[in-house]
Chains A and B, each alone.
Chain A
């Protein structure tokens, strides 16, 4: 029988199972290295994917090429203006910016009380009251940030803006604290700084809806401006570019144009603050990509070390089994058959250890996933390892297992049968 045919022979495998199962200690010690390697690899790679998915989720509510910009204070005197001026935006800047930068799709000016600006106002309903951040927004805000509204409610609309209506969209946290359980807040009134507002919608809080919390209150921009006497000035805006626009380019272009519009020195980097979701996202992606790569390197290295460990122990085992292999050869085992048996034992042990490692690793990821699924602020979702990577690791294991098995196999047949028999 040819050596290759032996691989597919059930008897060959019976021999291997026998030799492996009847030498349990050896088998366990041999497999621990590879088991550990593949386990680490799966756990790391899965965690990296979980983080990546988690961050992906966390940012899913914001368009990737959107940015925020706000007025700070100038740091360089320019064209007769002293330094330390706050270059606040005006509503007509929206159209000016849009006409200067055709890449802009939406601009959403925002006013806020609490959050980045002052103390959060007191909001009262009946006997309950608490402080909440209040935002004044246009309907366009909902185009940049994904806002989910519970059934029956709505977001701020153009009519609200036009008639400066006293309506409010509240967060689910606000509802919880101001309304009794089971009470429908829609159509009910809340008092913000002693002014009555009618609740028209309740937002569902999701990780990805930007920087707010679950208890923010949004009222029409115009209502806010009138109530707090802001005129047409505002300090913060969200800007979204069209899908094709590079977010870094958008941020730079907006900044340089704002400097021109607001008469700020081109060198003044402190006059405005800004961020763009794209670059935030990008650095996180880079981080998770780095982690995936790291887990690949660590995993492969550990698997490698594990397989070398198998080879080492197989070498010792071959030495220990010299007499047995001598007996087998006296009984008619050809060198090829002896080699096939040792290589297959090595490959089989590698695969066995690998599969257990994959299963235990997957189980760990499963447990982590369940453990973290309740945690809203821990970005970790669906920690899976791509099948291709598992398959790749598998191929690597089998290849390495074969190559490393060849060494003890060669060693086993390099001596004469009689010398092998003499060994005790």
Chain B
């Protein structure tokens, strides 16, 4: 599904430049649930953003589902993001003046799907994350866990090939973190490829594979026995 080779990324800051990713080789197969770990500043978000086509790399190749992602113009990149990628952020990034249903329906709007159909699909995904009854609530009327579940529903709504989650539980307490991870496991079990950036060991152990980043390179990459969450 994902195939990257010798990926480099530096940030230019005035005269100096910060080399963040120093040659990453990494591939993800269909249906995997991968945790990306590493200390703060090790480049986890940078990597995820490049995978999500929100940022460009300086060097190296990136193939997504056998399609070469290189030097795309923003328009094409937007279409790829829309069709292939779903995002979940630590800070939820819901649009504050849209209710839960409208937020979930937004990626479908950019796919040109009719309003009626959008609402049906969006409501279906809200049901999947257990928030059917909250569809008309604004983000400000939802708890953190509920907001993140709306964000996950939104990321899933366009039926992407890959779900990218940057510290999805970073702003949640441990109980709600469990709920969100249970949801991610469930979606993964249905066949979706998912990458999760996290700081927390226990969260990482709920995935099927852990990749450790250090100083811009992958220092460890291992399959783990998944800690399956039951009865939350």
A417 touches B109 (CB 8 A): no
Number of A residues near B (Cβ < 8 Å) is 29
Q: Which B residue's beta carbon lies closest to that of A21?
A: B97
Per DSSP, are chain A's interface residues mostly helix, strand or loop, or mixed?
helix
Contact pattern, A 223-265, Cβ under 8 Å of B = 1, otherwise 0: 0000000000000000000000000000000000000000000
- Select B110's contact among A19, A333, A418, beta carbons within 8 Å: A333
Which of A323, A330, A333 touches B52 (beta carbons < 8 Å)?
A: A330
Question: Knowing A413-B74, A417-B54, A418-B55 touch, does A332 contact B158 (C-beta < 8 A)?
Answer: yes
- Segment of B26-34, B87-95, B129-137, B194-202 engaged in the interface with chain A: B87-95
Give per-residue flags for A112-148: 1 if the beta carbon is below 8 A from chain B beta carbons, else 0: 0000000000000000000000000000000000000
Do A330 and B87 have beta carbons less than 8 Å apart? yes
- Shortest distance from the beta carbon of B57 to any chain A beta carbon, whole Å: 12
Residue in B55, B96, B112 whose CB lies within 8 Å of A1: B112
- A-B pair count, CB < 8 Å, reads 72
Establish whether residues A332 and B93, one from each chain, have CB atoms under 8 Å apart when the complex forms: no
List chain A residues, Cβ under 8 A from B208.
Answer: none
Residues of chain B at interface, number, CB under 8 A: 31
Query: Which chain A residues border B110 with CB–CB below 8 Å?
Result: 328, 331-334, 337
Beta-carbon contacts of A5-23 to B below 8 Å, as 1s and 0s? 0000011001100110011
CB within 8 Å of B: which A384-424 residues: 413, 416-418, 421, 424
- How many angstroms from the CA of A327 to the CA of B106 in the assembled complex? 10
A336 within 8 A of B: yes
A327 B54 Cβ-Cβ under 8 A: no
Decide yes or no: A335 and B75 within 8 Å by CB, A11-B109, A14-B115, A19-B97 being known contacts: yes
A268 beta carbon closer than 8 Å to chain B: no
Interface status of B61 (Cβ within 8 A of chain A): no
Alpha-carbon distance between A229 and B98 when the two chains are bound, in angstroms:
95
Q: Say whether B81 contacts A331, CB under 8 Å.
A: yes
Question: Quick one: which of A208-236 are within 8 Å of B by CB?
Answer: none
A329 adjacent to chain B (CB < 8 Å): yes
Residues of B close to A323: CB separation below 8 A: 93
Enumerate chain B residues within 8 angstroms of A417, measured Cβ to Cβ: 54
Q: Once the chains are docked, how many angstroms separate the CA of A328 from the CA of B109?
A: 10
- Among the interface residues A326, A330, A334, A337, which one has the most CB atoms of the partner chain B within 10 A? A330
The yes or no answer to B79 lying at the interface (CB within 8 A) is: yes
